[in-house]
Structure 1
Amino acid sequence: MNDSPDTPTVRVAVGDVAGRDADVLAVARQFADRTRVLETGPTGAPGGPHVYATVDGRTALYGAVTETTIERIVSAAEDGRLLTGEAEAMAVGEEPPTPESGSLTVGTPRVLDGFGWHAPDAIPNPIAPEVREDPDDAIRTVERVDLRGRGRADVAGDEPLAEYWNRTRDADGDPMLVVHANDADPETGADRLCGVSAAGRVWGAASAVAEIVGAEDIVAFAPAEDDLLADRLEAVGEWQVARADSSFRVGEPTMALEALEGNDRIEARRRPPGPEEWGLYGRPTLVHTPRTLLQLAELWQNPDAFDAEAADPGTRLVTIGGDVPEPATVELSTGAPLSRALDAVETPDAARYAVGGRFGGLTRNLDTPASAPAMTGAGLGTEGAIEVLSTDRCIVATVGERAAFAREENCGRCVPCREGSKQLHESLRGVYDGTFDAGDIRELARTMRTTSLCAFGEAAARPVKTALSEFESEFRAHAKGRCPAGACGGMQ
């Protein structure tokens, strides 16, 4: 096959957990002769698998591609043609086309820009050498805009990154960096998406951070059961890829370190000192998510796009799931309302929402900006997830299931989380027996939030606390023997 720039090219976005896109890729390769077939990562948008076909400098984007349609797309490319009538968008030049409407147009794609177009191991816009050569200036840039971590799996959480880097640089021992891509929150998908679509870019940012803080070792932490993510991280070839069974608790940074050390019992570590000072095998260890690293890469490449006056500069990736036909991940400016993310999916009428993952806050509307301070102030979680809850879902049962999850999944090390989650679950079960004391439940939630050892216990009572604020009448109805949603007669 001729690999000149004029060679017809078909890009197949592969990374769907369901595996449909892998079959499409196999058929594309089967029928390609003069056409180059490239495997890329998913776009994050619903309606896949997505395919880009480029012929004679023109590119067509196709959605919901099947094994039958990819055969026709490749056959047309072999003949020097594009199936323009079936394309969702067309473009001339070396950039991917963007539809005029639909999920791929939602938000402000900076981190997501190029997902589905570039090979997963590519680094299309390398970080400038001067960032690595002048660590102090690189940190000052991060300090100037007050860039914060993304995701509960990040050691910085929603706090300023530069503070953690400075503590690592000042700590005794040889620093190291863990790229945490093993967060098993069922409602979040952004870190996996970044890993399978842009492993090369994640590596580029990770290596820059490592040089800035003086870390010689980088470990990428992946789920044992996710072969595609691990394979794409390993394809970069510049770090050690470690795998462990994914679980919700391993999403907490110190419990991730326990798993990496191979400990039989995974428990949260006491702080201080934090991992940035005493981490993996006692070494100062930064734990950053792929989302955080790609945000850093964008900052160093385009600092003018970050408003230093904003409370939470940059963008945030938000995954929309729950009662929708297909989940989607979009990128929102931190000043944009969360409601804008819903433009990417079809949602039921009069839905309610859980914002922030498994332990997200429940709300009736999404007017809150997508910044960490705004979401925290509204009692919502900042995990980058919106779970759509249709009106036939019982709110009491929903928060009860999450309390049961906290009861089963907590590590058991601290009393407020271990015993608090048990008491919380029992209190919610009691609602069905006619026992309901909103004051007691609120006080229990406050105690868990303020005294638990780690973020697990701090967040575990958030669903109940916010549900009481927004939907207390539904709890009172259950205590009188009636489910307003008509969905339940009990709770797990």
Structure 2
Amino acid sequence: MKIENRTELKEYRIECQKKQSADCRVLVCGGTGCLASGSGKIYEKLKELTKDHTGVEVKIGEEIAHTKVMKSGCHGFCEMGPLVRIEPYNYLYIKVKLEDCEEIYNETILGGRPVERLLYKMDGVTYPSQEEIPFYAKQTRLVLKNCGHIDAEHIGGALAVGAYAGIEKALFEMTPEAVIQTIYDSNLRGRGGAGFRTGRKWQQVASQKEKIRYVVCNGDEGDPGAFMDRSIMEGDPHRMIEGMMIAAYAVQAQEGYIYVRAEYPLAIERLKTAIRQAEAIGLLGDNILGTNFSFHLHINRGAGAFVCGEGSALTASIEGKRGMPRVKPPRTVEQGLWARPTVLNNVETYANVPMIVTNGADWFKGIGTPESPGTKAFALTGNVRNTGLIEVPMGITLREVIYDIGGGIQNDKKFKAVQIGGPSGGCLTEDQLDSKMDFDSLAKIGAMIGSGGLVIMDEDTCMVEVARFFMSFTQRESCGKCVPCREGTKRMLEILERIVAGNGKPSDMEELRELADMIESTALCGLGKSAPKPVISTMNAFEEEYLEHINEKRCRTGVCSNLRKFQIDPEICKGCSKCARNCPAGAIEGVLKSPYHINQEKCIKCGACMEQCPFKAIHIEK
């Protein structure tokens, strides 16, 4: 059917809500992480079990009777996947295996009873309801509200929970100028990294004399450890699409492009499905809801270049050119895609827009901080107990994120640092745990939110190696157009590699700072300018580790293999000779039944001795 007007949309939404009102809804996580852990087979098994039971009818993505089994998007609690949510009980089953399906079917789907062993437990407390689990209870999920709670592959699930209500309001109750003013008044800032005011960007595009305009979504998301945008595209694609539609109406654009990295095949597939379904019922295309507003959406797959996260490189890539930044001005709002005025925001930014239009600017400003209102999604990874996708109000502290939501550091080790904002961000230490996580607060301490990656590091992390890793990534991903980034990052990487290999020189740190200053001052684009941040922030916070590597040829964590020094504790060694027999370099000397020792000149730092010692008498000197 084609929805021709506002009344028909309202009627269709009510119809979708009725179809969703099942006695039991089984939401199997269909996000990339859980699918990789086997949730697809769990989904198929639960489908099979419910079909075989008499009196239970299941039609995936269509009209349902008593039970519905469906694929949702990412639930966020990635550490505990595969995940299965059972409604109306709100049970969340963790680490579900294929062999658990029959028990879930018999106990919960048929009996309404929880499978206790599959519920989340922490410190002796069992949490039957998903909303009670500390990981979720401490969050404010607005953009991610529907992820894990609706069918990610059918528009009916999205419409049932209010999708396209924002564009409906905009088309029938607001002028384009009023929409822009609402977004401006809300002080929504771009969630892609720089935090530029979204309403201001839309104003600049709307004010251009050129009437052919474009709306572009940056779904490239190339930061290591970041998967916020991917989860939105996989779990609630209609929210982002609706945000783009509202932007197009506001600036009077008729064409939109979603740029998605090719490494996100599931996101691409679900976006294609969402666009196809929206077009089929008349929510995308010509004369939407019987108005004069027309909007067509296209998907472009990126080739995986990190630099295409930069606006001018992204638009060049869509045009079929090599993805490389250009000199500015003119900026994208003036001459973007095909040299036309272009609104360019990322996935999460667009996903905020429908809520703001529906609820108003004041509602949005009531969340977060005055200068950074709203929420922010973060990918919580690294040495933290509860890894996953979270959404929190702007202004929350790092301590709350790591310890209240993340559950603290794995294995009760000591917190050391957090890398925030990916390769473009900085490294924050224990002294900064109470720092507020908003655009301006982080900028004051030399960090940035970036796209939202949070990599937590414990006491066993070598900060020099961390700097080398991020510089290696940035250097490898440099487009090579400008000399400061192409050659400067290469020189910085060479110095860092020399330091971790045990060949550092006293002058290295000064040279790193000089190179960093040159790159930050002269690189062509924002990605190049921010490339030295991980190095400078780790040098400032952990200077003593750099000096140990350079002057003492020692890595206190034992991560840098060339700088490891293995020692045998004579108080523990039993003289069994197992270490000596397994040493490929013949570096372990001694006699049976007496403590052995390691000849450091012969030792090749392989660690075979420590792996083989049955008495744990061998350790790395720190």
Please report the TM-score for the alignment, with normalisation by the length of structure 1. Answer: 0.90
Whether 1:360 aligns to 2:425 is yes
Whether 1:261 aligns to 2:277 is no
Aligned-partner SS, 2:236 = helix
Query: Relative contact order (alpha carbons < 8 A, sep ≥ 6): 1 or 2 greater?
Result: 1
Whether 1:43 aligns to 2:84 is no
Whether 1:134 aligns to 2:175 is yes
Matched with 1:284 is 341
Equivalent residue pairs, number: 477
Whether 1:483 aligns to 2:516 is no
Q: 1:182 to 1:70 in 2, by over 3 A?
A: farther
Matched with 2:372 is 312
- Partner amino acid, structure 1, of 2:46: A
Residue deviations 1:319-365 (CA, integer Å, cap 9, x gap): 11123466311112112112222233352422321111133211213
Q: CA deviation at 1:269?
A: 1.8
Q: How does 1:442-481 map to 2 (within 5 A)?
A: 442-480=513-551, 481=553
| Aligned pair partner of 2:220 in 179, 182, 196 | 182
| Aligned pair partner of 1:71 in 91, 97, 102 | 102
Q: CA deviation at 1:42?
A: 1.1
| Aligned pair partner of 1:344 in 381, 394, 405 | 405
Matched with 1:211 is 249
Measured in 1, the distance between the counterparts of 2:443 and 2:95 equals 37
**1:176–1:210: 8 Å Cα contact kept in structure 2?**
yes
Measured in 2, the distance between the counterparts of 1:147 and 1:37 equals 36
Q: CA deviation at 1:313?
A: 0.9
| Aligned pair partner of 2:196 in 159, 178, 185 | 159
Percent identity over the alignment is: 25
**1:31–1:75: 8 Å Cα contact kept in structure 2?**
no
**1:32–1:75: 8 Å Cα contact kept in structure 2?**
no
Moved more, 381-390 or 210-219: 381-390
Structure of larger gyration radius:
2
Measured in 2, the distance between the counterparts of 1:188 and 1:372 equals 18
Measured in 2, the distance between the counterparts of 1:4 and 1:477 equals 62
Measured in 2, the distance between the counterparts of 1:314 and 1:396 equals 35
Q: CA deviation at 1:3?
A: 6.3
**1:436–1:476: 8 Å Cα contact kept in structure 2?**
no
Measured in 2, the distance between the counterparts of 1:100 and 1:9 equals 19
Q: 1:419 to 1:490 in 2, by over 3 A?
A: farther
| Aligned pair partner of 2:488 in 420, 434, 453 | 420
**2:108–2:115: 8 Å Cα contact kept in structure 1?**
no
Matched with 2:468 is 400
**1:174–1:284: 8 Å Cα contact kept in structure 2?**
yes
Measured in 1, the distance between the counterparts of 2:150 and 2:72 equals 6
Q: 1:200 to 1:477 in 2, by over 3 A?
A: same
Q: CA deviation at 1:226?
A: 2.4
Please report the TM-score for the alignment, with normalisation by the length of structure 2. Answer: 0.72
- Partner amino acid, structure 2, of 1:438: M
Unaligned runs of 5+ in 1: 90-95
Unaligned runs of 5+ in 2: 1-17, 57-66, 121-127, 276-283, 285-296, 564-622
Residue deviations 1:358-406 (CA, integer Å, cap 9, x gap): 3321121332211111112211231211101232221112212222222
Matched with 1:20 is 38
The alignment yields a C-alpha RMSD, in angstroms, of 2.5
**1:205–1:297: 8 Å Cα contact kept in structure 2?**
yes
Measured in 2, the distance between the counterparts of 1:214 and 1:231 equals 28
Residue deviations 1:93-136 (CA, integer Å, cap 9, x gap): xxx95442331223222222222011224142221634343222
**1:474–1:484: 8 Å Cα contact kept in structure 2?**
yes
**2:463–2:545: 8 Å Cα contact kept in structure 1?**
yes
Measured in 2, the distance between the counterparts of 1:3 and 1:439 equals 66
**2:213–2:251: 8 Å Cα contact kept in structure 1?**
yes
Measured in 1, the distance between the counterparts of 2:116 and 2:556 equals 48
